[in-house]
Structures are given as C-alpha cells and as structure tokens.
Amino acid sequence: FHTSALLSFTTLSITFLFSFNMSVDSITIRRPDDFHHHCRDGPSTASVLRHAVPRLTRCLMMPNLKPPVTTVEMALDYKKRILASMPANPTHNTFQPLMTLYLTDKTSPDEIRKATSMKNEDGITPTIIGCKYYPAGATTNSDFGVSDVKNLYPVLEVMQETGMMLCIHSEVTHADIFEREPVFIEEIMKPLVKDFPRLKITMEHISTQEAVDYVLSAPDNVKASITPQHLLYNRNHLLVGGIRPHLYCLPILKAEVHRQALVKAAISGNPKFFLGTDSAPHATHTKEAACGCAGVFSAHCAVEMYAQIFDQENALDKLEDFTSSFGADHYGLPRSTETITLERNPWTVPNTYEFGEYTVTPLKAGEKIHWKIVGLD
C-alpha cells in the first residue's frame, strides 16, 4: 500500500469525520485568549469581567486609562484593581490579566528592563507582556502617545533585546480616516520592521486588505489580531440609513472588499492571524452623543460571534487555532489546557448590560446569536 495513498486516505477520513461531527451542532475548543481587551477602571471593571472571565483564559489589558499606565508600578496597581474586581464565583480559577505599558516619548529603556523581570503568580507568565504604541491622537485616550516613532528607538532596542512585544495601533493621524492604516504601513511599519528585524510586533485590530497583504509578506515576528466587528461589518452598516454609533470604532469600519479580506485571513489557518476583540465599552449615553466615543463592546459574545463567522464560512475546524493557539504562540505563552464547548443554540443579546453606575449597549443588542457557550446564561 503506497505511502501517498495512505496519507490521502487518512486526510479523507479526517475530513469526513470532522464533517460528520459538525452535524451534532457543537464544538469543543481550548478556552480562548483575548490579546486586545479594554477592562476599564473603577466600578465598570467588574461589569466587564463578568462577561470576559467565563469565556477567556487570559486578556491582554489595554493601558489607555486616565491617566495612562506608563510605568511598572502603575501596571501592578492596575492589575491589583482588576483582580479585586473579579466575579465572586467564576466558572474557572485560571483567568489571568496580562498587563501592558503605554509608550510615550518619555518612556525609558530602564522601565522596559524592569518590566521584563516580573512574572505572574504561576512563575511562568510575564506580568507585563507588551508595550502599546499609540500614535498621539489616533484613538481613545491616546493624547499622551508617541509623536514620532524615532523617539522610541532606544526603547525598541531594549524591547528587541529582551523579547518584549510591541503592540501597535497601526494608524497615522494625518491621512483620510479610511486610509490611515495603509499610510501607516508605508510610512511607519516598513521602516520599523527593517530597523528592528527581531522585534516581536502585533499589528492590532487590522482593518484593510493592505494590512492583510502586508502581514502575509512580513517576517514571522510580525503578526496581527482581528476583531469580530471588522469580520462582521463594513462601513455601510455604520453609515447607510442613519449613523449607528454602537458600530463606531477605530480603526473605522471599511469597505466590503476589506471585510472579505479579513475573513479570508481569519479562517485561513495561517498562524499570523489571531483573536483580539478590542472590546471597548463606553456608557450608552457617551456613544449616543453629538460627539460619540469610539469603541464596540463585544466581551459578552465575541467568542460566540467568531464561532458564527467561522461556521458561515465552513471553517469551524480552523476556529480553535485562531481563538486559542496562534495568539498564545506569538506571545510565547503556553496554550490553554482548559476547554469550552459551544453549541448551536440561538439566544438574544439584551439591549443593555450593567456598566458600573451606567449601562452599555452591546454588540448585536436585541439580535440573535446562533452559537452559545455551554453553561453560560
């Protein structure tokens, strides 16, 4: 029996078995990680964690608070506040917040060396696992961000040396809002990667065909996260027939050709793309305003929505790697040993959720989602 024939038979058998298993309308995967999460601060943090903790093993916590998390001490204090806000009876006890530093023109190399020396309680996971590069003025609470990437070069040298991840909001501020990501790639990313060939980089929440193409062509140290909203919606959903403020985010939703490119990348099985929700809650009244905030709250359903998207594309066999493997691998973390089970069981998203003393309007408010995590109400 020829070896190639055996391999073909094995592949055919696996494909058949997977197709058969999908007919039972459930799938079990490693518990996902979210490598881009806004946990907020104060009373609203507990409201956010109520949704995130049951679904996720780890969350990369964004540092754009007021004031921003610019030092190791501030990151440690923020972590303490997060842990103090954890649900009283969590569905699992292994959830870990992963902390980040907010880079400014004044960040010192010594601060990076200090950050790289710290580990979580498990003795394995770094306490501070990345540094966030916000171009000044590019998004929410980014006014203290970096005015010129060259100002960061001494810091980036140390990050490259120590293996610290650079997380990037990949947009310039001087271009048309729909072109800011492609311009950033040409003006910032390409020179940056050339100057720091060993620096680990995450292009966060990519939103364009150009970003997909660039990541595919870039060295292996450059990878990207993709949000559920950029997989689900294009700019027509945001603007046609009236402005829908709860779909307004940055990077802004783009044309349909870009959404399709992102879906193709997400379901491809390529380890360069992984889950990063950019779940970013704002109180409803601050979204429904004359000058509304940018951000989509998806912590309550992001994992379920990724499942729905992959299901629609007949790619559920690729879901686990996208949600639970490729991101952990990129950040040098062990893959989760816990699992969750999703079943095809439609449920309706509430119109609002509690958000500290206010309410937040969630992604898919009042709409049905076709996949549900077993054991979650």
**Residue 176 known to be catalytic:** no
The pTM (predicted TM-score) of the whole model is: 0.92
226-236 in b/e form (b: 16+ CB < 10 A) is bbbbbbbbbbe
37 to 54, 62, 109: CA distances (angstroms):
14, 6, 25
Cα torsion 158, 159, 163, 168 to 10°: value is -170
Distance CA 142, CA 170 (A): 13
Residues 6 or more apart from 127 whose CB is under 8 A from it? 75, 76, 79, 99, 115, 118, 119, 120
Considering only CA atoms, give the Rg of the chain.
20
Residue 141's pLDDT is: 67
Q: Are 136 and 144 in contact (CB under 8 A)?
A: yes
Sequence-ordered list of residues with C-beta below 8 angstroms from that of 157, at least 6 positions apart, any chain? 109, 196
Annotated catalytic residue, options 105, 110, 220, 278: 278
Q: Could you tell me the CA-to-CA distances from 371 to 79, 233, 311, 347, 348 in Å, in that order?
A: 31, 18, 9, 8, 11
User: According to the model, what pLDDT value does residue 254 have?
Assistant: 98
pLDDT at residue 144 in the model? 84
Backbone angles phi, psi at 56, to 5 degrees: -130, 150
- Which residue has 């991840």 as its token pair? 165
CA dihedral 242→248→330→119, nearest 10 degrees, is: -150
pLDDT score of 138: 73
Region of 40 (left: φ > 0; alpha: ψ -120 to 50; beta: rest) is left
d(CA 334, CA 320): 14
pLDDT mean by block of 10 residues, the chain; 377 residues: 36 36 76 98 98 97 96 97 93 90 96 93 89 86 86 97 98 97 98 98 98 98 98 98 98 98 98 98 98 97 98 97 98 96 98 98 98 91
Residue count (the chain): 377
